[in-house]
Amino acid sequence: MHELSLMAGLLEKVGQLAAENGATRVMTVDITIGALAGISEDHLKEHWRAASIGTIAEGAELRTTVSEDPLSTGLVLQSLELET
């Protein structure tokens, strides 16, 4: 369940930014995973692939970095590569 809420929030933000920039497709998404986010990079990428199906981000590469801040939580969207 935790993963679903993380994906829903991330996809909502990605979709909003893509729409604001007139994108037709999201190519890459760069995020930082908080040290206390409670999800591994591999597990997050699995959920990303499934959750993005049918969205503007379907097929987009999810690039991840884990925060070195031991108190960080959640996901932080760093950048997007968009196709317009």
Domains (ranges, CATH) in the chain?
A: 2-83 (3.30.2320.50)
Asked if residue 66 lies in contact with residue 35, where contact means CB atoms within 8 angstroms, the answer is yes
CB atoms within 10 A of CB 78: 12
Q: What is the mean pLDDT of residues 8-15?
A: 94
pTM: 0.89
CA 12 to chain centre: 9
User: Is 27 or 7 the better-scoring residue by pLDDT?
Assistant: 27
Asked whether residue 1 carries a pLDDT value surpassing 70, the answer given is no
List of residues 6+ apart from 40 with CB closer than 8 A: none
Query: H or E segment at 78?
Result: strand 75-83
Asked if residue 15 lies in contact with residue 32, where contact means CB atoms within 8 angstroms, the answer is no
